[in-house]
Amino acid sequence: MSDKRILDIIASPADLKLLSNEELSILAGEIRHEIVTTTSKTGGHVASSLGAVEIILALHSLLDCPKDKIVFDVGHQAYAHKLVTGRLKDFGTLRTYGGLSGFPKPSESPYDVHYSGHASDSLSVALGLAEARDLAGTDQKVVALIGDAALSGGMAFEALNNIGQAQTPMVIILNDNEMSISHNVGALMKHLGYMRASSQYRQARDNVQEHLESSGPVGKAITNFGRSMKESMKQFVIPHSMIFEQLGIVCTAPIDGHNIAQLRETLRAVLNADGPVLMHVVTRKGQGYMPAVRNPEKFHGIAPYNIATGEVIKSGKPSAPKYTSVFGKALVAEAENNADIVAITAAMKGGTGLDEFAEKFPERFVDTGICEEHAVGFAGGLAANGKKPVVALYSTFMQRAVDQMIINVALPKLDVVFAIDRAGIVGADGPTHHGVFDLVYARMVPNMRVLAPSNEAELVHALHTALAMGGPFAIRYPRGEGEGVPLPEAADVLPEGKGRVVREGDDVAILAFGRMVGQALGAADTLAEQGVSARVVDMRWVKPLDVQAIQAAAETKLVVTVEEGVIAGGAGEGVLGEMARMGLHTPALSLGIQDAFVTQGGVGQLLHEQGLDAEGIAASVQERYRAL
């Protein structure tokens, strides 16, 4: 018997058209094995990708990609898509520097339609593709694959409204697995739960469809059904009809997302419709790998792990506490002494370190779902009525709520703390997830104060300071382990706009922000060996800046700023602006993320590439200093 897998002979999606349903089911198992084997070494988004295998195989077996378009929402469920679109031989490089992206990436493959990475944007992109097709008069099929959690995002609702109005042919596959990063919350999730469980709906919906299908071709019947959604008879027959149908989008009854035959049969029908159709597919995150089934949140995004146990492989060296964990514990301590504190997150309770807070203060914890704009506006309302909300979001996701930060919080000077997690380079998730823009969007807002703690002890002080001072406040801190410094027994209020000198020096002054303080100290050691005396200042405050520290730095021969964010509009440019305002003419050098998106890879590797590790900082300073 040959050990050859079906997967090994799939050169392109066209090969799937030659396979029977039974063979596609075998292929699904092979793909799951490949995903688990590879991600156990590279880490990755395991549970989501395992849950969507049959959906992707059914799609590619019926569509003609890349002419037809599959638009992934977020894209962390796309590993099977990569494996059947010619990337099997490179799959072992997943999420590594120079290897395959963990998300769809158009520059990587013509089968990838757009740069996925953030939730709730697929429907807008898909509608744009469909409208462009209509304008060009072509016959492309357009399918958007979106999870139930992403569907709760505001952008998705805006798109649904437009799709219902446009009535252009496109298929929305709702991958309903009852999970986002954390367990789903909200009225829409309850509505979907009703749709999964209600035999009344299923029977009524099926009866209506059977009647319509008997009067003509399937495609025509489905379309006519969609166009009659607003009729009163529809409400009489299906009194609990889905919200999508009220918008003019036909919705199928829930089907088994791991049944290839059922998926393909339904897809054949909906792909022939001449209006928008939502195909409701129920799947299970982690399907085929029990550790991921038992703990889908852990396997949403996981480091390399032991296949047999599902446990993350430890490095063997003692580890410092992670910034996220330190923040979570510090917030619990603050909340024990302040009953007005309310913690808010957007579908990432565990990811932002709020598990313990939610357990201890359930009445003061709010998970809004994947709705960052709402989370910040909601926080503004809480603050306007006397509470002290702390909004914990990843930097890359906080970007979506900048308008609410400005209008709903900063303009009225409300007492809201933004705990901006995953600030700076985050590693293998790549450009859609690096938190390199928050220094810009936070410091540009009037009334906002911004702290960038350099270690985990400073983070404890920063949170206490933000809560004590009040007003709009942002604290940004990186992903991963801290510096290993002892945590304070009691938190201090940091003097506003004052940094701290952590190393004296006379030749150059390095003004470092956040995690870059440690790298600056390493650079100072190297420079000392080369005969250059470098002062290092932990600036602490991004806004207001430490003016006295800047004046003192200008007394050296070179002022250097180092930040783990984009240079354009960042903290370094803020320092240069202060120098110009004060009439200081000392030569200056700003180091940070260049005007380009940062690829995926290890954090240390990427910092080195950007010249932001100790070696790179020392080399840049030395080059500029010698040129003076």
| Those residues with Cβ within 8 angstroms of residue 333's Cβ, 6 or more apart along the chain or in another chain | 491
Query: Could you give the count of Cα atoms lying within 13 Å of 443 in the half-sphere of its Cβ?
Result: 24
Active site residue 210: no
Q: Which residue, 91, 109, 115, 118, is CA-closest to 36? A: 91
Structure tokens at 149: 């959690």
**Cα-based distances in Å from 265 to 18, 61, 129, 202:** 16, 12, 25, 17
Q: What backbone torsions phi and psi does residue 299 show, to the nearest 5 degrees?
A: -90, 10
Q: Strand, helix or coil at 233?
A: helix
Tell the burial category of 350 from Cβ atoms under 10 Å away from its Cβ (0-12, 13-18, 19+). middle
Kindly name the residue from 54, 178, 297, 372 that is annotated as catalytic. 372
**Cα-based distances in Å from 371 to 183, 202, 276, 532:** 14, 30, 24, 50
Q: Which residue, 584, 544, 302, 522, is CA-closest to 445? A: 544
Kindly name the residue from 87, 95, 400, 449 that is annotated as catalytic. 400
Active site residue 372: yes
* Alpha carbon of residue 280 to chain centroid: 24
Kindly name the residue from 69, 133, 284, 285 that is annotated as catalytic. 285
Question: Residues 569, 575, 578, 582: is their CA dihedral positive or negative?
Answer: negative
Task: Measure the CA angle with vertex 504, ends 498 and 509; round to 5°.
Answer: 70
Residue 465, amino acid: T
Active site residue 285: yes
Percent of the chain as helix, strand, coil, to the nearest 5: 45, 15, 40
Q: Strand, helix or coil at 308?
A: coil
β-sheet bridge partners, residue 118? none
The 3-state secondary structure of 65-96, one letter per residue: CCCCEEEECCCCCCHHHHHCCCCCCCHHHCCC
β-sheet bridge partners, residue 593? 566
CA diameter of the chain = 88
**Cα-based distances in Å from 248 to 22, 75, 224, 235, 328:** 35, 27, 11, 13, 44
- Residues known to be catalytic: 285, 372, 400
